Structure 1
Amino acid sequence: MTVDNAHVRRQHVKVNGTTLSYLSSGDSQGSPLLLLHGTFWSRVWQPSLPALGEHFRCIALDLPGFGRSEGELTINEASVPALAQTVLDAADALGLDKFSVAAHDIGGAIAQHLAVHSGRIKRMVLMNAVMFDSWPVPTVERFRDPAVREAVTVEELQQGRRDATRKAVARELTDDELDDYLSPWKSPARSRSWMAMAAAADNAYTLELVPALKEAAVPTLLVWGRDDGFQKIEFARRYVEEIPASGLVEVDGKHIPTEDSPQEVADAVVGHLRA
């Protein structure tokens, strides 16, 4: 990935003995915003980071075995509660006490878990995130089968990620952009980590949070690419109907709206977090 070093930097932090990578933007003394990914990686946040960094200390984390981070997830380590603990450990290592969180895809399940259980989330943004029983989608759910995970090669997983990435963005990505998105999965360890996350995907994690989310009423904004074929906007509309202190901003785009409407996503996030 070509990173504008004037606005976005790639940095690293040691968490539980593993070096985790993250994209950072903004003043290191600014109000912290931790950005999470799901079945993609921190790259999904990169288009909006320069604008977000004008207002916050942004940290777009790569989970272990994803993106540019070291390590490899097992299925147990890839469960939502386990990943939430990893995120809290990373926050501790980065010197964050209370912080806001923005989360995409399965990262949204992690964020909802943190909002309910950690007591450290000030405000939350869910961008085309999983919720209720919206997940796992069939292309992810099939990796619950150990035989599928055993049979899939790195090359086959790369092709699957290529197809999914194309479907996740409304505009046509350039060859360089697509290659950048796919670059982590050239690594067998990162391919296994992705399959572990897929195998651990379970909507019981989000369904069981609903009563506590209603009670906690953490100020939450849903920012949604309205043409998402993976996480349907109907789930976002249901969320704001059922969960107090939540609102929805719809933007042009599909599953990764930062690629289609980066400024609109950033403006919505800024407006919510500075309210």
Structure 2
Amino acid sequence: MSETTETGVLRTAVQVDGEKASYLTVEQDGPAVLLLHGTYWSRVWLPVLGRLAEAGLRPLAVDLPGLGRSEGELTLETATVPVLADWVARFVSELQISGPIAVAGHDIGGAVAQHLLVHDRLEVSRLALVNSVTYDSWPAPHVARFRGPGVDAGTTADDVLAARRQAVTAALAGAATERRIADYLDPWTASRVRRSWMAMAGAADSRYTLDLLPALQRSTTPKLLIWGEDDAFETVEYAERFASEIPHTTLLRIPDAGHIPTENAPSQIARALIDFFTA
């Protein structure tokens, strides 16, 4: 079952572990680019997908299990970065993609991308991180409030939706409109997605990025950081530290942009990704 969005990008699916893994793409030949989301969904990549395809790339923006339009439901055990990285590797295998692949990650998806690189779950040719979690920058307070015993029982659907609305509005910064906010929030109207998101919040742990640092410092894989400067939690100072400590890293700062800078500066970010992935 496939559908085409109003931008011409195709939403389709493949079976992973017997459940539908939904993803946005443009079906064409060309080098594959894997695009990973974190506490949001594949929607964060939609503003740049068409431009990547026009440059001859084959973008693949997948919804992690239980989130976005993918089937399944995450638990505290399956929502950890290592387990999600294994799932992503199986997703790529189901698409019968072999050989090197470029990977970009946003938010916690950036931690998954780093894990894929360091632990050779995929042959990552180039790594781009967009306002990604790094070091001990996460979980952010608005995510951490949904952690801990007893949180599930005391949290209503309205609590999650209100918190997500507040987070999305701040993350979109100057690009926030009522229509766009509603678009981002749409998956969380499903109870299964809300439970999966709370599992991801509960499993969020900065040790998953801190433990990767020694291997990242030895890595010769080219890395690009794209950062909205107005992100209040994944602040640009973390990106500056990463660029100074991790070799083969370039930092592109995006002024007047928040946690989802693809919505604030899609043309600039698409151009940077195209230049990086086709170098």
**TM superposition score normalised by structure 1:** 0.96
Distance in 2 of aligned mates of 1:174 and 1:226 = 20
Q: Larger deviation: 232-241 or 137-146?
A: 137-146
Q: Match of 2:146?
A: 143
In structure 2, what is the Cα distance between the partners aligned to 1:191 and 1:233? 29
Q: Residue 51 of structure 2 aligns with which residue? A: 51
Q: Deviations over 1:45-82 (max 9, x none)?
A: 00111111112100000001100111100111000000
**1:188-237 deviations in Å (ceiling 9; x for gaps):** 11000000000000000100100001112221100011111120000000
> What is residue 274 of structure 1 aligned with on the other side?
278
Q: Which amino acid aligns with 2:260?
A: I
Q: Distance in 1 between matches of 2:265 and 2:7?
A: 22
Greater CA drift, 135-144 or 101-110: 135-144
Deviant stretches of 4+, over 3 Å: none
Equivalent position amino acid for 1:265 in 2 = I
Q: SS of 2:173's equivalent? A: coil
The equivalences for 1:92-171 within 5 A come to 92-97=93-98, 98-118=100-120, 119-171=122-174
* Alpha-carbon distance between aligned partners in 1 of 2:128 and 2:118, rounded to the nearest angstrom: 14
SS of the equivalent of 1:263 reads helix
Moved more, 68-77 or 211-220: 211-220
> Displacement, 1:173?
2.3
Per-residue Cα deviation, 1:236-269 (whole angstroms, up to 9, x for no partner): 0000100011110111310000110001110111
**Structure 2 match to 1:197:** 200
For structure 1, which segment, 105-114 or 166-175, has the greater mean C-alpha deviation from structure 2 after superposition?
Answer: 166-175
Number of aligned residue pairs: give it: 273
CA spacing shift, 1:15–1:207, aligned 2, 3 Å: same
**Deviation, structure 1 residue 155:** 1.6
- Per the TM alignment, residue 126 of structure 1 is displaced from its structure 2 partner at its CA by 0.1
Residue 159 of structure 1: SS of its match in structure 2? helix
Output aligned runs, 1:1-275, within 5 Å.
Answer: 3-4=5-6, 6=8, 8-25=9-26, 27=28, 29-55=29-55, 56-97=57-98, 98-118=100-120, 119-252=122-255, 253-275=257-279
Change (3 A) 1:2 1:146: farther
- Provide TM-score, normalisation by structure 2: 0.95
Between the aligned partners of 2:261 and 2:27, the Cα distance in structure 1 is 21
Gap regions ≥5 residues in structure 2:
none
Identity of aligned residues (%): 47
Partner Cα separation in structure 1 for residue 59 and residue 175 of structure 2 = 27
Contact in 2 for aligned 1:26/1:52 (Cα 8 Å): no
Using the alignment, how far apart are the partners of 1:31 and 1:191 within structure 2?
Answer: 34
Report the CA distance between 1:150 and its aligned residue.
2.1
Letter in 2 for 1:264: Q
The answer as to whether partners of 1:25 and 1:52 remain within 8 angstroms in 2 is: no
Structure 1: runs of 5 or more not aligned = none
- Counterpart amino acid of 1:143? F
